A and B are shown apart, each in its own frame.
Chain A
């Protein structure tokens, strides 16, 4: 596994909201398992008042009813998880409804996959991630440059994780000298994680999930006019997910 537990990224925003001292938050997510994971993740560290917790049908395109409710409830912060087109719609409509004075905290809602459509409407919106394209290390810079040259778009965390996964598999195959019939040896090599992650340091915890840093990121426009998320601050350092102790891999 080179990614994260499904609720970890959302914990970043909950922790940030708690540390910033927001006293109330309005939560919005699609009504499916990942939506529930997301709100559970946010609430883990956020101890303020949850003004309302709204689940919308998956694939809902128009959020005007929910936005009116947010305006009526006047929370100090707004947290959401709306991947893909739902996020594009929500971000645009949130801005159009004049709600942007309420901090917009999210994950996978204003990221490299949706920013090209959200454009300026998402600027300044906060997110959580284990990496961002402006990560300051040589391997990541080289990766972003090569990716943009090849695909003419800014890579997101999905691309980063897929690249890391490929590098991990490559390192394991090299480690076994190409002998893939010895499954135990291959597993041991994989476990070593002997590759240079774009995230910088990378190692596996007892449940074979990464122990990694998580960052607060912000949607921004680059000098060349493209949009990306940029790291604002580190929220969790060497973060072991909270299920690790319960499901050790033998």
Chain B
């Protein structure tokens, strides 16, 4: 195991981590502030990627697509909130899960109907299409570095927004006790709508960002949604800081486990057995981590104070 390989895999893990963060941030806010389980958060990420693909073919470039995707994803999120989710806030979690699961099925089929089942792609922006040699024989695309940078910048601005602005204060207060915030004269419905639209925009932003490196296809958000739930459970529901650290932990552990698990096991096991066990164990690691965190701290690493 060379140092260069370890460094590259750490970068890979970071990149997965910041991507997870962009999705988990919206999820943890809607879950934490509104106590609303939104399974459809993953398809909003998918819709973001599809919007980016569509706008890219209209405008012919990535930047134009990104600029158009953000407001459209926001509008789409607000429309979903207005049409469907608004009616679910007062219902129990089971109704919310059923309804948002329905939204997943509907939207996955809808994108198939509109754009077809075959994967789409988005061109990489010219300025970021280079790559840097990180180790012999391997180039690391500059775009992926930019992705990490964009994720970290988003995390920083969110931190500022949540901790140092009035709207952030209301969001934190809403996470702690929504009824009380409402009683103090804040229009909690409007706050919810804002949080929801913002979360949808973050998910759409993530979708647009990954579109140049991942294929845009129906169901692309479903796997990430599960990971995003793991992230917010580890981090503590409602906590942006928890989502950030949880996302980085999950990204790094998942990537490094996949990359080095078999080799580490080889120290103790025969090569064939190590390979077999490593393969089985690597995808489980993040769930083992989640179980361990829940065992020690049942409300996550950074629980919202009640």
**A residues in contact (CB < 8 Å) with B:** 31, 53-57, 59-62, 64-69, 71-72, 74, 84-85, 88-89, 92-93, 96-99, 113-114, 116-119, 153
Nearest to B133 among chain A residues (CB) is: A98
Contact call B137/A92, Cβ cutoff below 8 A: no
- Interface flags, B1-45, vs A, CB<8A=1, else 0: 010110011001101100000000000000000000000000000
Residues of chain A contacted by B258 (CB below 8 angstroms): 56, 65-66
Residues of chain B contacted by A59 (CB below 8 angstroms): 223
Contact call A117/B135, Cβ cutoff below 8 A: no
**B residues in contact (CB < 8 Å) with A:** 2, 4-5, 8-9, 12-13, 15-16, 118-121, 131, 133, 135-141, 143-144, 213-217, 220, 223, 255, 258-259, 275, 279, 283
Nearest to A53 among chain B residues (CB) is: B275
Contact call A61/B220, Cβ cutoff below 8 A: yes
Residues of chain B contacted by A61 (CB below 8 angstroms): 214-215, 220, 223
Contact call A64/B215, Cβ cutoff below 8 A: no
Contact call B213/A93, Cβ cutoff below 8 A: yes
Taken together as a complex, chains A and B put the C-alpha atoms of A92 and B275 apart, in Å, by 27
Residues of chain B contacted by A89 (CB below 8 angstroms): 213-215
The 9 closest A-B pairs by CB, nearest first: A98-B139, A71-B138, A88-B215, A85-B217, A64-B12, A117-B119, A71-B137, A85-B215, A117-B121
Residues of chain B contacted by A119 (CB below 8 angstroms): 121
Contact call B8/A68, Cβ cutoff below 8 A: yes
**Nearest Cβ on chain A to B286's Cβ, whole angstroms:** 12
**Nearest Cβ on chain A to B124's Cβ, whole angstroms:** 8
**Known contacts being A55-B279, A119-B121, is A97 close to B138, with CB within 8 Å?**
yes
Residues of chain A contacted by B144 (CB below 8 angstroms): 64
27 A-B residue pairs with Cβ-Cβ distance under 8 Å, sorted by A, are: A53-B275, A54-B279, A60-B223, A61-B215, A62-B213, A62-B214, A65-B12, A65-B258, A69-B259, A71-B138, A72-B5, A72-B137, A72-B138, A85-B119, A85-B217, A88-B217, A92-B121, A96-B131, A96-B143, A97-B131, A97-B138, A97-B139, A98-B131, A114-B118, A117-B119, A117-B120, A117-B216
